[in-house]
Every structure is written in structure tokens, then in C-alpha cells.
Structure 1
């Protein structure tokens, strides 16, 4: 499979880090890249894979996984292809970051947890691990204190808070440094506060030094 990847920011030849940005259902790679000016990512190369037909998988992320096949496996392969594109350009995984919104956040969390290692960091705006239940047997590895920010609304029309909480528990069990924030009645959107915390926790690495940012 050949994934269409839209690039922005620094070129892979000159960048110090890579951010893989994953759009939501009905969105585009170009859409998710519009968040870049709000992020503290100077010196980053930006890679945004494009989903076929503008969706990563057809049904809710809470559906039984086989119902979303083969699209789910193809979507995970698209992220893996994007990671390999960065690695082939000379980047180590500790210098590769992820950001996703909604369906893209779910896919991001599913990918990094199936492939846990010391990534640079990850941001999930409204998402959780994929499936009708949490398939803990699918997840292996050690995040090595990778900083992860997860923000969501309570309630959210697509992502139940219970799934966000269980996702955070799995990531912490696998040695991720997670900052989870739940906002009452925020709606299915990305807030300025979430962007601020994502920058603090993930992109400028204060999350490794200042646990008080969780409060």
C-alpha cells in the first residue's frame, strides 16, 4: 500500500524532529496541518497521511474490530508507513511525535500502544483505544516515559469517558507519562487550553520535569 503523505514544516533533510499528524473522520491531511501554527514545533518536519475516502475505518471505534476490517489494519499500516518514511530519513523513534484528533486520535493511540517504545511524544485530542472492549493482549512494549497528552469532553458524542480512562490506565501501565484532562461539556472540538497543555506536556518536554502540570 502506498499512503499519500502531505508534508509541511521543515524538510526531513534539515528537521530535528518529526510530527505525524492524523486527521479525523471526514477530514484531510491538509485540515490537520492547520493546527501547526498553534503548536510549539519549531524545527519539526510535519507528515500528515491521508485516509482513503477521508475515513480511516467505516464504523465507530467502539465496534468489534473485525467489523472495521480490512480498513483498520490498512489505517495502522498507513501510520507504520509514515513512521518508516521518517526512520528511512534518519530519525530515531525518540524523535518521532504523533498528534491526532477524534478518529485520528483513536488511530494514533492504537498505533503507538501496539508499538510501544520511547517515542518523542503523542497528543490525542478526543480518542481512546479501539474496539468493543480494550484488547490488552494487542499491546506490548515499554513507552520509556514517553509524554502523552489526552484531552476530551464529558460528555462527548463519539468517545465515552470510560474508554478514555481505560486507555490512560493501559498507557500508564506500559510506562507512558500521561497527562489526561477531561473538560465538562466542552463539545467535540479542540480547545485552546488543550493546545496549551499539549505544548507544555509534549512538545517542550516540561512533562518530564514538572509533574505539577497535571493539576
Structure 2
């Protein structure tokens, strides 16, 4: 099915009347196959869809927005491109809900690095579309959120944020500001750190899976 973004899909193994969606958003210089490697391990009731970012960096690498360097090697983000990608993702969610039997009230985002930054931006800009956010190795960039986001009802959002303590790409200090920002907005957040660099530790993956679908004491996935 041709939609506005290229994507990979794992259909739910447990078919409900309408199934929840977990939309995966990769990091800078990666592609839709990267996070999709998690798909076999993710809860069976979800549509797992991994989207490809729109900006082609060549050789199978893509970005949600450009990262530029000035003469002093200071790094800065192209916020205009980031805002365009924010709205592309929002529209892509609408397309997915229109084309698959997805529960529009149970749309969830899982982002890594740049994909995590975009996940926050989409959720805060369009909270009526998003249920949960899993944000790994990212941070909240308030400059790419819609201007009137403080008028939004953010009370439904739930966030699982994680970061490596020795992340050499996005400083841990940036991530540590996130809980305070979100709590001030009344958003429930679980924040965890792991002794790794810019990547996903096995314990991190276990924790996010458990947060997404809590386990019973016997180790079985809880069903409502």
C-alpha cells in the first residue's frame, strides 16, 4: 500500500476489532529497517510499523531533518525541516488509521535519537492522536512544537524516556531536563538511564516492553 512515507509493517498476531499501533521512528542516518529489527519481540496485539524519514542522505541513510555544523564545529538542527517532518508523521498516522484496522485511540510512538525528538514534537503538538511515547536517546526540543501547544490537553499522554549515561551523541544532561519539562505539563513520565552510549541496552528494551504491556508475576503479558 503506497502512503506518504515508506514503511515496513508487522501485522498483529492477535487480531482485535481494532488493534493498537506502535509507530517506530529511526534516528539520523538510519532507515526503517533499523528499529524494525525489534518487531518480532514487540507485543503481539500491536501493528508495528516502521517509517522511513523523508530526507535522503544516500546509501540507504535517511534523516528527519538536517544537522549542520558551523565554522567552529558547533552542531545545530534544521528546525524548519523538523517541523515539516513533525507534520508529515502526523499526517502519516491519519493515513495508517484510514488504511488499516487501527484503534485511533491507541496510537503509540517509539523513537530513537532524532526519531525520539520527533516523537515528543508530534505528541505535544497533536496529543489527541497519541497515547504513549517511548523516547530513547533523545530530548524535548520546544522549538519544533506547534506554537500553541500549551493550549492542548496533554493529560492522556504517557511517556517512557531512556538514555545512556555515556551517550557521546546527545549529552545525558539534555535528557535529564525532560522529566521536569513533561511533569510541569502534567504528563506522566517514567525516566530511566543505562550505562551505555548512544544505543539501546538489552535491559532498556526489556523495560520498555514491560512498560508497554506490563507483565503479570508469572511472566505472562497482561491482557485487559
Provide TM-score, normalisation by structure 1. Answer: 0.78
1:48 aligns with 2:38: no
Distance in structure 2 (CA, Å) of the matches to 1:43 and 1:56: 28
Alignment of 1:13-28 (within 5 A): 16-28=19-31
Q: Which has the higher helix share?
A: 1
Distance in structure 1 (CA, Å) of the matches to 2:88 and 2:8: 13
**1:110 Cα deviation (Å)?**
1.8
Secondary structure (helix, strand or coil) at the match of 1:198 reads: helix
1:193 aligns with 2:195: no
**What is the match of residue 213 of structure 2?**
203
Are the aligned partners of 2:121 and 2:145 in contact in 1 as well (CA < 8 Å)?
no
Distance in structure 1 (CA, Å) of the matches to 2:146 and 2:18: 35
1:112 aligns with 2:123: yes
Alignment of 1:27-42 (within 5 A): 27-39=30-42, 41-42=43-44
Residue 83 of structure 2 is aligned with which of 62, 73, 76? 73
**1:44 Cα deviation (Å)?**
1.1
Are the aligned partners of 2:135 and 2:161 in contact in 1 as well (CA < 8 Å)?
yes
Are the aligned partners of 1:152 and 1:181 in contact in 2 as well (CA < 8 Å)?
yes
Alignment of 1:136-175 (within 5 A): 139-140=149-150, 141-175=152-186
**What is the match of residue 222 of structure 2?**
none
**Structure 2: 5+ residue runs without aligned partners?**
57-61, 69-73, 217-224
Provide TM-score, normalisation by structure 2. Answer: 0.75
- RMSD, aligned CA: 3.1
Greater Rg, structure 1 or structure 2? 2
Distance in structure 2 (CA, Å) of the matches to 1:161 and 1:93: 33
**1:168 Cα deviation (Å)?**
2.0
Distance in structure 1 (CA, Å) of the matches to 2:63 and 2:9: 19
Residue 94 of structure 1 is aligned with which of 97, 105, 129? 105
Larger mean Cα displacement after TM superposition, 19-28 or 84-93 = 84-93
Secondary structure (helix, strand or coil) at the match of 1:46 reads: strand
**What is the match of residue 209 of structure 1?**
none
Distance in structure 2 (CA, Å) of the matches to 1:173 and 1:8: 36
Aligned length: 200
**What is the match of residue 210 of structure 1?**
none
**What is the match of residue 59 of structure 2?**
none
Larger mean Cα displacement after TM superposition, 107-116 or 4-13 = 4-13
**1:175 Cα deviation (Å)?**
2.6
Secondary structure (helix, strand or coil) at the match of 1:95 reads: strand
Distance in structure 1 (CA, Å) of the matches to 2:49 and 2:179: 25
**What is the match of residue 211 of structure 1?**
none
